[in-house]
Amino acid sequence: MRTSTSTGIWLPIFAGLCASLVSIGLARFAYTPLIPSLIEAQWFSANDVVYLGAANLVGYLIGALLGRPVARQLGNKNALRLMMLVVTAAFFACAFPLSMSWFFGWRLLSGIAGGAIMVLVAATVLPHVPAARKGLASGAIFLGIGLGIAGSGTLVPPLLSLGLQATWLGLGALALLLTALSWFAWPSDFLHPVVAQETMPAEPTPRGVYLLFAQYAFMAAGLVPAMVFLVDYVARGLGAGAHVGALVWVMYGLGAIVGPVSYGFLADQLGARSGIRLVLVVQAIALGLLALTQSFLALALLAVILGSFPPGIVPLALARVHELVPEHHRQQIAWSRATVSFATFQALAGFAYSALFNASGGHHALLFIIAAGAIVVALLLEQAMKWLPAPIEQRCCAN
């Protein structure tokens, strides 16, 4: 095992950070500050650009479903390498807007790779990390998402001064560099124990796991509007321009950097269950205020809070899985299902919000209010679960 030395611990963590940075931080979030420019440059219409953003979310769902089957064929390490190469290729391909279907296909593929990586990365890295450092390691892995968001906010504006094609090529070059740097840092696969455990009898799943699946799904629905429309809201909705929109996105990125570490700290100090409650309350309030405010300072502060949510909730939800499920193989299965739940609602929400945005004539505030409602539902689900009669709960939890 690679846990015998400090270098052996941090090399896999570094690889995981690179994977989340490339596949989610850049592949998904770098698209958001590009939306106004894609419309202004007339690469695609405003309606098409919004649906192209949703393509990545649909791909994420497909990847979450395919991640474990692909890993069984190739091994986790090779599957992760392949997915990073797919994301890199997608960046280069998007530099050439040959058609709507071409662009949609590559955005879809980048989402597939991101979903597969999200399912596999923690399960690949964390077994090589001592138990006392798993929380820190989990936060460090998903810090890559925050770094990617912040990087997209700081890299995309200067790249755009060179043109849209140069921007996509520059993002592809960065993804290729990170893929190369992480190539030999991935740990060895634990294939035989996993195969052996596949034949073990199924055990009842704790009811709290199903609650987490449902909460995680509504969290996904709640984070989509700010994730996709924040820059466009500031730049075009409020008329502040692309520059101010980019500045607000940088603040969103700063929040994304802080998110994994601070949310992991909450899990350690309060427990994952209480941490999730607190985070949901804060996010619901922030989304409600976002729909009401036009002050730059207020928008910047809200962007930090909202930006902490997409990457921060991942280690918090993963910590909740570890609280509820004691054995590693079952943890991996539960996390895969949680990711599928998240991805399903994220994809559905992506298209639903896009359709509503177009039908309402570009009403951003309406989307933020609906998102706040989704977060409130996630918060109330825990109370609703307590009202279920015991026999129904037992049937729900049976495999």
Q: Token digits for 100?
A: 């709507």
Cα separation, 111 vs 59, in Å, equals 4
Q: Token digits for 233?
A: 């809201």
How many CB atoms lie under 10 A from the CB of residue 225? 29
Determine which helix (DSSP H) or strand (DSSP E) holds 387, and give its type and residue range: helix 364-387
The pLDDT value recorded for residue 8 is 67
The pLDDT value recorded for residue 394 is 46
Cα separation, 294 vs 10, in Å, equals 43
Give exposure, 338-376, as e/b (b: 16+ Cβ within 10 Å). Answer: bbbbbbbbbbbbbbbbbeebeeeebebeebbbbbbbbbb
The pLDDT value recorded for residue 3 is 43
pLDDT digits (tens, 9 = 90+) for 94-103: 988 888 889 8
Q: Is residue 302 a contact partner of residue 372, using CB atoms and an 8 Å limit?
A: no
In this structure, what is the dihedral angle of CA atoms 19, 175, 228, 253, given to the nearest 10 degrees? 80
For the chain, which ranges sit under pLDDT 70?
1-8, 130-136, 189-204, 386-399
Residue-by-residue DSSP string for 115-152: HHHHHHHHHHHGGGS-GGGHHHHHHHHHHHHHHHHHHH
**Amino acid present at 90:** A
| Site of tokens 């991996």 | 332
How many residues make up the chain in this entry? 399
Residues with Cβ within 8 Å of 200's Cβ and at least 6 positions away in sequence, in order, are: 329
Q: What is the pTM of this model?
A: 0.76
pLDDT digits (tens, 9 = 90+) for 228-282: 888 888 888 888 887 788 788 888 888 988 888 788 778 877 888 888 999 999 9
Q: What are the CA-CA distances from residue 331 to residues 209, 272, 273 (Å)?
A: 10, 15, 16
Domains of the chain and any CATH numbers: 2-186+205-397 (1.20.1250.20)
